[in-house]
Amino acid sequence: MNLCNSRSQKGITLGEYMLRVGILMIQGGRSEHMEAMMAAAEQLGLEVEMKPIRKSTDLEAIDGIIFPGGESTSMKIAAQNEGLLEDVYSFIRQTKIPVLSTCAGTILLCQNNFLNATISRNAFGRQIDSFSSPLRVLLSNDSIKPVKSQSLGKDHFGYQPLPMWPEAPPESNEFLGIFIRAPRFDECKAEAVVYLNDEIVGVRDGNRLGLTFHPELTQDRRFHRWLIREMEATS
């Protein structure tokens, strides 16, 4: 498959284009990532278009992509019939678009050599062992406009979401990481950018960022702002 990253439509409030963010729709916190991207764009005074990726043709004209969390084996099985993941991997190699991955999405990136690191699934334990903890972030923390905390209503199943963790002050390098059946980096040659105490839980390899936790479940949007800034730089 040969998909080019063409821009036949208009967009971004920088001027000519709207940045288009693809998000794999095979599993995980897809709606949470979409909300996080829209909030991050608002903080930067921009607009972005979220483009769900369900089939290979959806990859056209995107500027960046998000691999959400979930269960990595189930994600591979869900995408197998359409050959979607292989086309996504080819598209990333061809276009070199920025990538943000979380949890199981990071497993997929490591397994396919998009991050110079090896990783183990469910290394922090089972679902019952999920936890949150302050993290140290070494990514630059850009200045942003103040944004009010969101009050989330019930989802379409009628459940009330848990309150999201508020955003850290702009000058802070702390972040509350939420770990759910989280993977663990075994060996890492990519740049370490997030630490849980002395353990690496976030790596950057060029314009690809892999996290073992779930930033989309907080109101701290710095990692989604990072993706937008990387898309701006490569567009």
Question: What residue spans define the domains of the chain?
Answer: 19-142+166-234
71 is a catalytic site residue = no
Confidence of residue 145 (pLDDT cuts 50, 70, 90): low
pLDDT confidence of residue 223: 94
The strand pair at 174-179 and 99-102 is best described as: unpaired
Interval 56-79 mean pLDDT = 77
CB atoms within 10 A of CB 26: 25
pLDDT confidence of residue 11: 36
Residues ≥6 apart with Cβ < 8 Å to 150:
35, 39, 164, 219
Catalytic residue (choose from 32, 33, 35, 103)? 103
From CA 124, how far away is CA 95, in angstroms rounded?
Answer: 34
pLDDT confidence of residue 8: 35
Q: What is the pTM of this model?
A: 0.81
Fold of 19-142+166-234: Rossmann fold (3.40.50)
From CA 181, how far away is CA 73, in angstroms rounded?
Answer: 13
From CA 63, how far away is CA 145, in angstroms rounded?
Answer: 24
Interval 162-187 mean pLDDT = 77
CB atoms within 10 A of CB 141: 18
216 is a catalytic site residue = yes
Interval 192-198 mean pLDDT = 95
Q: Which helix (H) or strand (E) holds 157?
A: none
pLDDT over 80 at 2, yes or no: no
Catalytic residue (choose from 33, 216, 224, 230)? 216
pLDDT confidence of residue 135: 93
pLDDT confidence of residue 115: 97
pLDDT confidence of residue 164: 61
110 is a catalytic site residue = no
Strand-by-strand arrangement of the 19-24 sheet: 48-53, 19-24, 64-67, 99-102, 208-211, 199-205, 191-196, 131-137, 174-179
Catalytic residue (choose from 110, 214, 224, 230)? 214
Confidence of residue 97 (pLDDT cuts 50, 70, 90): very high
pLDDT over 80 at 1, yes or no: no
